[in-house]
């Protein structure tokens, strides 16, 4: 694991200690259906884009994003055709916040993914969202339990994998969404071939077991060519953050990626 990832996990452990032990999340709204959203988008030969409200990457600030900004950005992404919005809530390295997530979700009607380093059950009690990211490489042997906890709390877990070993562990959980992150957690290098290499294993597992997983390619997609590459390999959806935020044209860049298959 890269030192940056270890630092984020250590920071998250300290953050968890600040969560009141007796906190309980009471859902005010029903979970929004990402599966129907993906199916509807693909039926029209459009790309199912999960676009991200992303203030920063570790060591690289993209822009200041207040809750008001998050609401506006999420609305533009929805208007451009995104099927869901990912919101960073990790505060120290990604400059995210649960307030940004609340503001975004209150301003749109599509599903919202909480993107953070979830390592403790108390984090499920912090804020309402439709989906929640669970990183297989960080949770290790605790992955299956965390998937079941997420489901029991009303979240749709998106289990993120980076290699074949993590994928094998993810597939035997109850998670229906598998995110293939093209960024190597040991080197932080990005390679879109990671998606291409891991998809056949998911397809084979589903064929052998009568299951159906939704595959989401994550990280490193900047152009329509990048999008087409992973969709043609079998990804059902893509998660894109940096290129949309950096573009400065939230609506136009999101729509460009949603329409990537129009050029085929």
Residues β-bridged to residue 88: 115
Set 52, 126, 156, 166: catalytic member: 52
Reduce the DSSP state of residue 128 to 3 states and report it. Answer: coil
The helix (run of H) or strand (run of E) holding residue 12 is: helix 3-16
41 is catalytic: no
CB-based contact 221:243 (threshold 8 Å): yes
In degrees and rounded to multiples of 5, residue 113 shows phi and psi of: -100, 130
219 is catalytic: yes
Residue 231's alpha-carbon distances to 172, 215, 216, in angstroms, are 24, 10, 9
Give DSSP secondary structure letters for 187-238. T--B-THHHHHHHHHHHHHHHHHT---EEEEES---SHHHHHHHHHTT-SEE
3 is catalytic: no
Set 41, 46, 102, 115: catalytic member: 115
54 is catalytic: yes
Alpha-carbon torsion angle 6, 24, 70, 7, nearest 10: -10
Q: Are strands 56-57 and 60-61 parallel, antiparallel or unpaired?
A: antiparallel
Set 218, 229, 243, 256: catalytic member: 218
Set 129, 181, 217, 243: catalytic member: 181
Set 90, 126, 128, 160: catalytic member: 160
Distance in angstroms (rounded) separating the CA atoms of residues 46 and 237: 10
Set 41, 54, 229, 255: catalytic member: 54
148 is catalytic: no
Set 182, 219, 243, 256: catalytic member: 219
Active site residue ranges: 52, 54, 115, 160, 181, 218-219
């Amino acid at each position: 694991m890269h030192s940056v990832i270890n630092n984020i996990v250590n920071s998250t452990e300290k953050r968890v200690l600040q969560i009141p032990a007796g906190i309980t999340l009471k859902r005010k709204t029903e979970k929004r259906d990402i599966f129907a959203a993906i199916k509807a988008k693909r039926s029209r030969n459009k790309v199912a884009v999960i676009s991200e409200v992303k203030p920063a990457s570790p060591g690289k600030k993209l822009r200041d994003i207040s809750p008001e900004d998050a609401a506006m950005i999420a609305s533009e992404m929805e208007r451009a055709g995104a099927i869901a919005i990912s919101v960073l809530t990790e505060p120290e390295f990604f400059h995210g916040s649960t307030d940004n997530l609340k503001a975004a979700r209150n301003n749109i009607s599509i599903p919202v993914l909480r993107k953070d380093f979830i390592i403790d059950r108390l984090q499920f009690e912090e804020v309402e969202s439709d989906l929640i990211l669970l990183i297989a490489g960080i949770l290790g042997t605790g992955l299956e339990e965390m998937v079941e906890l997420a489901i029991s709390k009303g979240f749709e877990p998106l289990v993120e994998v980076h290699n074949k070993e993590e994928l094998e562990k993810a597939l035997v959980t109850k998670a229906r969404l598998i995110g293939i992150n093209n960024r190597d957690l040991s080197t932080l290098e990005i390679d879109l071939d990671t998606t291409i290499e891991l998809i056949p294993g998911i397809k084979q597992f589903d064929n052998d077991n009568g299951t159906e997983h939704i595959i989401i390619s994550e990280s490193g997609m900047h152009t329509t060519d990048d999008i087409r590459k992973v969709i043609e390999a079998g990804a059902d959806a893509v998660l894109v953050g940096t290129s949309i935020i950096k573009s400065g044209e939230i609506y136009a860049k999101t729509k460009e990626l949603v329409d990537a298959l129009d050029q085929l």
